[in-house]
Amino acid sequence: MSLSVRPKVYSLPSYSLTGDLLGFLRCGLQYRYTRIGKLPASRPVQQWFGEFIHGVLEEAFRRYHESVRKGVPSLPPWPVSELDDIRKLIKDRLAARGLRAWAPDLEQLGDDRAAAAVQELGPLLFPLIHRAEVRVTGARLLPPIASHLQFREADRYEMVGVVDVVTHVQLATPGLAGNPIVKGVRAALGGNVPPEFELIIDYKGMRRPPVAKATAKHSLWTQYEWQLQTYGGLRQKQADALQVVAGVLLYVNELHPTRSDLKLLKDEIVTGTTDVAPVPGSPDDIAIRAWRSSQPLPQLTLGYRLARALRIVPISAASVQQAELAFDAVVKDIETCRGREEYGTSLLNAWDRNPSEESTCVVCDSRTYCPDYQTNYAAQQGELTPRLPAKKI
């Protein structure tokens, strides 16, 4: 009697749009250690910032929504005591997971940015929100990798993501047509919007990056656009979705810029690498050009800070398809690295490294043994490569 052989387990690989794909694009080796290997970061400053701002905005919206449900809508700005209460609640939640701000000045910056986000952006954003933290999923064909690196049975992969905010906009609603976010979307789409539509919004705890140069491959500018497009495509298939006309990236740091942010902005205005420069001769233009780093920061207008904070990306079937193909290509790269590792190549050689962003490398826990860090940045950071003591003869 012949016994049948149990077939290999068929498991669908799952790739999240931010954690996996954007993480791998930032640097494959860092992604291998922190995401796949689950090595916690020794200085998770950026993680604290991102999660703190997300948490504060989510809690603030929950409180606003609750006030609407009770029939007494209360939009920000709110008293400082209410804001303090929200910030403390979120800090306590993060601290319970071991996430802290690490330094008092960083915590103060987080507090200030959270205040700007709730008190200045909240009144414009909260009335538009339909749902927050919306999970989106889909399945796509797994791109084939070189046959000698094949290590899976699966022929598809799962694409997952969480949209921070889904808005429903009915232009007939009194007051909405004049909302700066809605006005920005109508301008970006040339006024060509249906009477009812949906926007997907993603918060980014960072400043607005300079516009990608035409030659730059996989720049942050392009990557975040792919993220919005793919979110838009997945969201569009859900039952309660209206027509998704655009995605909005919300660069929270622009609401409360620091000295280094303003210095970078000045440089980008001079080199013409920002797409949102102040109107020449406007108060913002004069204030930025006259500012010297030894002086106090100028108070930029809310209109200009909001224009820099919002990046509106029109979404169409064609643009979604293009972004999905780009993400397939990244999945193929990740699978190829996994295949190399699976067949015995060392981690340092199996995984693609990306030393192009100094700010990523200088906080990377792999920098002490990463050859690219040693070549590009160790000397200028005053860090010497660890060496074994020389042998005395």
Q: What residue ranges bind ligand SF4 (CB under 6 A)?
A: 27, 29-30, 353-355, 360-361, 364, 366-367, 370, 372-373
- Do residues 330 and 21 make contact, with C-beta atoms less than 8 angstroms apart? yes
Percent composition of the chain: helix, strand, coil (DSSP 3-state, to 5)? 50, 15, 40
- Do residues 113 and 122 make contact, with C-beta atoms less than 8 angstroms apart? no
Give the nearer residue to ligand SF4 in terms of CB position, either 33 or 291.
33
- Do residues 82 and 41 make contact, with C-beta atoms less than 8 angstroms apart? no
C-beta atoms surrounding 380 within 10 Å? 9
Give the nearer residue to ligand SF4 in terms of CB position, either 25 or 361.
361
- Least Å distance, CB 386 to ligand SF4, is 15
Residues 111 and 56: their CA atoms lie apart, in Å, by 10
Contacts of 347 (CB under 8 A, 6+ apart): 29, 32, 33, 341
Strands (E), the chain: 14-16, 129-141, 156-170, 196-204, 244-251, 310-314
Residues 348 and 377: their CA atoms lie apart, in Å, by 18
Give the nearer residue to ligand SF4 in terms of CB position, either 285 or 352.
352
Q: Which residue matches tokens 């006309």?
A: 245
- Least Å distance, CB 1 to ligand SF4, is 54
If you compute the radius of gyration of the chain from its CA atoms, what whole number of angstroms results?
Answer: 23
Q: Report CA dihedral (348, 350, 356, 358) to the nearest 10 degrees.
A: -30
Give the nearer residue to ligand SF4 in terms of CB position, either 182 or 361.
361
**b vs e for 211-239, b when ≥16 Cβ sit within 10 Å of the residue's Cβ?**
ebeeeeebbbbbbbbbbbbbbbbbbbeee
Give the nearer residue to ligand SF4 in terms of CB position, either 25 or 134.
25
Residues 86 and 63: their CA atoms lie apart, in Å, by 10
Give the nearer residue to ligand SF4 in terms of CB position, either 27 or 313.
27
Residues 87 and 108: their CA atoms lie apart, in Å, by 11
Residues 207 and 267: their CA atoms lie apart, in Å, by 14
- Least Å distance, CB 41 to ligand SF4, is 11
Give the nearer residue to ligand SF4 in terms of CB position, either 32 or 152.
32
- Least Å distance, CB 355 to ligand SF4, is 4
- Least Å distance, CB 352 to ligand SF4, is 9
Give the nearer residue to ligand SF4 in terms of CB position, either 308 or 367.
367
Q: Which residue matches tokens 């210095």?
A: 263
Give the nearer residue to ligand SF4 in terms of CB position, either 236 or 374.
374
- Least Å distance, CB 113 to ligand SF4, is 25
Q: What 3-state class would DSSP assign to 19? A: helix
- Least Å distance, CB 339 to ligand SF4, is 20
Per the DSSP assignment, residues forming a β-bridge with 158 are: 14, 139
